[in-house]
Amino acid sequence: MSTNIQERKIIIEIKDLKKSYGDNHVLNGFNMTLHEGENLVIMGKSGSGKSVMIKCLIGLETADSGSIMVMGEQIGELSRTTLDEIRTEIGFLFQGSALYDSMTVRENLEFPLRRHTKKFGVLKDTTPLVMQALENVGLAHAVNLMPAELSGGMKRRIALARTLILQPKIILYDEPTTGLDPITAKEILILMKSIQEKYNTSSIIITHDVDCARVISNRMILLVEGINYAEGTFDELSTSTDPKVQAFFK
Amino acid sequence: MNAIFKIIELIKSFLLEIGELSYFAGRFFRESFRRPFEFKEFLRQCFYMGNRSLLLVAVTGFIIGLVFTLQSRPTLLEFGAVSWMPSMVSISIIREIGPIITALICAGRIGSGIGAELGSMRVTEQIDAMEVSGTNPFKYLVVTRIMATTLMLPLLVFFGDAIALFGSYLVENVKGHVSFLLYFNQVFNALEFGDLIPATIKSFFFGFAIGLVGCFKGYYCKKGTAGVGVAANSAVVYTSMLLFIIDFIAVFVTNIFYDL
Ligand SMILES: Nc1ncnc2c1ncn2[C@@H]1O[C@H](COP(=O)(O)OP(=O)(O)O)[C@@H](O)[C@H]1O
Ligand SMILES: [Mg+2]
């Protein structure tokens, strides 16, 4: 399976990405490719720049240098409209779910639908799409609740539904299981897998959870000191003799 | 030596802050003219702000009117000038006390609320989530809020003024047996457009300052939950300072016009 994924089309390619905040050199020449239908796991210590990298990828942060190609377009050179169009094809699951506190679950899901009008046009009735997205994550009954009334696991599911509602081709997960108990984390993982199979999406999963990486990855990259320190399948990396690599699997 | 360096650093950071705030204000004006205008969110904010501060403004206004009249009464009595009470109260309330007290209350109520709300949206990445959902968060969150405070503050000031005058009337009615008609007749006789217009213009600026600083502090909130508290708190402190500066300038400018 993994060999033939490597032969598929490349949809994201990052070359020599650098980003600093003052004297804090977070990324020092990071390289990465994502193939169609692939689940790429990126592991790194807390504060190693995983979130910064993924935010550069979607244009929330601007890179200092390097190139980021997403579906043939160079992020960073795009007009706002083109960037918005690309963003409809990329779902982003934020680290802390990032649900809008002041809106109900339904309004949370409608927000991207009503604003990214290019994909589905201007919708009169968003109910079918909202309900479908909620059913995908098994929370159709929560449609009228406020985020404050949801548990951590439910919030993560709703956030997932919100990223899925535009039916993106690529999904970026920023620590999807962090802060959840092991059982809920497992449920989220199963959900991620089923979504992957149902919609045939490609994903980048940022995590420091070894179980998560084992279950979901086709390929892994270890981010150490701002570069892609090691790369390979879970089995290859977990049996590596390099102490820096081994530190991740203890 | 060390103290001097510290003071220089403080002045530097203050000037830097002023610079950033002006840049933020400039961005507000640029983005206000760009379509689409988030009208629904603007209305929601207006309603929310009015709803949140109406009672507070009413109670404070009422007490200020009451106390102010009670306190001035003995002095005016001494001079045999109690009949001037309505004119004196109305002019001081409309010109100065109404706007500044209402603005200070709203800085505490609305300004800190905006700082905390936007701050927590920043910290929990809700602002980033908006951005990737094809919405300009500056327009959606900042422009609407600043416009709402700018519009709502003069309305709240009118409302506060009216309640304060009513409080003052109650005292006069009980103590001096002045009728409602007589009292307000004197109030309107004493007031001129020259009192009302500068006060209203001033209130617009007060509202703008409250929204601007609240949004500025929240939008650039530091990461971490402590950042949210700092954002809310410093929003109130900076706004209050700014309000007095605006008030000072307003009095200056108004006096120039009176002298003409
Ligand atoms: N907006 C920012 N301003 C300054 N420093 C930042 C900013 N965002 C991230 N950093 C710094 O970049 C480093 C990497 O952060 P991050 O990517 O969030 O780590 P993680 O790998 O845990 O997701 C941290 O040292 C953090 O302090
Ligand atoms: Mg992170």
Question: Which tens digits make up the pLDDT trace of B65-111?
Answer: 999 999 999 999 899 888 888 999 999 999 999 999 999 999 999 99
Q: Is residue A137 within 8 Å of residue A168, measured between CB atoms?
A: no
Mean pLDDT calculated for residue range B47-61: 95
| Residue A3 pLDDT | 55
Q: How far apart are CA A94 and CA B223, in angstroms?
A: 15
Specify if B28 maps to a domain: no
Q: For residue A55, which atom of ligand 1 is closest to its CA? A: 17
Q: Determine whether the interchain pair A115/B124 forms a contact, defined as Cβ–Cβ distance below 8 Å.
A: no
| Residue B110 pLDDT | 96
Pocket test for ligand 1, best of A21, A94, A173 (most atoms within 8 A of CB): A21
Question: Which tens digits make up the pLDDT trace of A100-124?
Answer: 999 999 999 999 888 877 677 777 7
Question: Which residues in chain A show pLDDT less than 50?
Answer: 1-2
State both tokens at A233.
């399948």
- Find the residues whose C-beta lies inside 6 A of ligand 1: A 21, 24, 26, 44, 46-52
Q: Is residue B104 within 8 Å of residue B203, measured between CB atoms?
A: no
Euclidean distance between the first and the last CA atom of chain B, given in angstroms as a whole number? 49
Which residues touch B253 (CB under 8 Å, ≥6 apart)? B198
What total number of domains does chain B contain?
A: 1
Question: Which tens digits make up the pLDDT trace of B144-202?
Answer: 999 999 999 999 999 999 999 999 999 999 998 889 999 999 999 988 888 899 999 99
Q: Which of A55, A94, A115 sits opposite B134 (nearest CB)?
A: A115
State both tokens at A68.
């980021």
Looking at domain A10-89+168-250, its CATH superfamily turns out to be P-loop containing nucleotide triphosphate hydrolases (3.40.50.300)
Q: With residue A232 as reference, give the H or E element that holds it.
A: strand A227-232
Q: Whose CA is closest to atom 18 on ligand 1? A: A51
Q: Angle at the Cα of B200 (from B197 to B201), degrees rounded to 5?
A: 85
Tell me which residue range forms the domain holding B93.
Answer: 38-257
Specify if B206 maps to a domain: yes
Q: How far apart are CA B258 and CA B197, in angstroms?
A: 13
Q: Determine whether the interchain pair B133/A111 forms a contact, defined as Cβ–Cβ distance below 8 Å.
A: yes
Q: Whose CA is closest to atom 6 on ligand 1? A: A21
Q: Which residue has the tokens 């007490």?
A: B63
Q: How far apart are CA B128 and CA A90, in angstroms?
A: 14
Q: Which of A88, A94, A111 sits opposite B125 (nearest CB)?
A: A94
Helices B98-106 and B193-219: crossing angle, nearest 10°?
Answer: 10
Q: Which residue has the tokens 């309004």?
A: A107
pTM for the model: 0.90
Domains of chain A, residue spans: 10-89+168-250, 98-167
Q: Determine whether the interchain pair A116/B134 forms a contact, defined as Cβ–Cβ distance below 8 Å.
A: yes
What ipTM score was computed for the predicted complex, to two decimals?
0.89
Q: Which of B64, B69, B74 is nearest to B88 (CA)?
A: B69
State both tokens at A79.
């007009």
